[in-house]
Amino acid sequence: MTSLCRLMCGAAVVLSAAVAPAAQAAWEPTRPVEIIVPAGPGGGADQMARVVQGIVTKHQLMKQSMVVINKAGGAGGEGFLDVKASRGNPHKLVITLSNLFTTPLGTGIPFNWKDLTPVAMLALDEFVLWVNADTPYKTAGDYISAIKSAPPGQFKMGGTGSKQEDQIITVALEKATGLKFTYIPFRGGGEVAVQLVGKHVDSTVNNPIEAVAQWRANSVRPLCVFDSKPLDYKDKVTAEHAWSDIPTCKSQGLDIEYLMLRGFFMPPGVTKEQTDYYVDLFKKVRETPEWKDLMKNGAFNTTFMTGADYAKWVETEEKRHQSLMKDAGFLATQ
């Protein structure tokens, strides 16, 4: 071997070693990814999880498949404890709603959101006061007046679960009006909407996505939205009305605001590289027309957060829910 060859070959080996780490592929799933839904089928979290699953599959955003699994037992505690126990498993996600806070606070199960790894907030969900379309109530004021003239507890409010967001809003309504509802819990928002259409309850505070099909079919009527401002979406949902036509509850004399997290977490002990993979995946999901249709059809607030901002927001919401549940008498320690 000549001196020139030895020099060039040695340089090639050094160069190869230098670029090898950069050429290594970034982390990605090596088996199917589970999305755990800590709620029943048909509700807002379940619908969003299945839309994400469909988008990832249709646009081939991930080599592995996604599987949606409902684990609603114990007000969603079953799902949260499953993910908490899956330390270091990067092939499992949980989609969250307010029971991220209400379930541990209300049941005392050994779980806290800090047991998980925050990934991303994909949106915030609204709440609307709904009645059956056959009723004469056109405004929240009409409905409240009817309740005031009836015996206490005669009017039934349907909602998802007990001591969760729907019942928290119901208690807030009672305190704001001095009235009393009979609260009836169901397994998920889909079932709640069916019960209202069937006139088994008098009202609900379902999310828009959970009742949009029934509104479009003129089976239910929205009276007000629990937000500080009307919804942004101006395309007609029914022949006559858009989401933006629904007045705020505050403008109807009910000073109550409540929005709910729609975000993702992973088990504890996963790496930053693994978390970053899903952050990037969700950014791609949000750019698809299917996602934008979901946001419009469900009248979502499209706020997106990751990292420290997301964790700070969740921490603030936990404190707010602790205060709300304490006021409602829902804390397990009360």
What integer pLDDT is reported at residue 136 of this predicted model?
98
The span from the CA of 139 to the CA of 131, in Å, is 10
What integer pLDDT is reported at residue 24 of this predicted model?
63
List pLDDT tens digits, range 216-243: 999 999 999 999 999 999 999 999 999 9
Residue that is written with structure tokens 């605001």 in the block: 257
The span from the CA of 128 to the CA of 223, in Å, is 7
What integer pLDDT is reported at residue 187 of this predicted model?
82
Task: Kindly tell me the burial class for residue 121, based on how many C-beta atoms sit within 10 Å of its own C-beta (0-12, 13-18, 19 or more).
Answer: buried
What integer pLDDT is reported at residue 8 of this predicted model?
46
CB 72 within 8 A of CB 188: yes
Signed CA dihedral, 13, 19, 24, 25: sign only: negative
Q: What are phi and psi of 325, to 5 degrees?
A: -70, -30
- Angle between helix axes 289-297 and 44-58 (nearest 10 degrees) is 160
DSSP conformation letters of 153-215 = T-SEEEEESSSSHHHHHHHHHHHHHT---EEEEESSHHHHHHHHHTTSSSEE---HHHHHHHH
The span from the CA of 84 to the CA of 92, in Å, is 10
103 closest CA partner among 79, 127, 126: 79
Signed CA dihedral, 76, 79, 81, 84: sign only: negative
List pLDDT tens digits, range 254-287: 999 999 999 999 999 999 999 999 999 999 999 9
The span from the CA of 135 to the CA of 131, in Å, is 7
Q: Mean of the per-residue pLDDT values for the chain? A: 92
The span from the CA of 169 to the CA of 290, in Å, is 30
Output b/e per residue, 17-44; b: 16+ Cβ within 10 A.
Answer: eeeeeeeeeeeebeeebbbbbbbbbbbb
What integer pLDDT is reported at residue 243 of this predicted model?
98
What are the average pLDDT values for consecutive 10-residue runs of the chain, which has 334 residues? 48 47 77 95 91 98 98 94 98 96 95 98 97 98 96 95 93 94 92 97 96 97 97 95 98 95 97 98 98 95 96 96 93 88
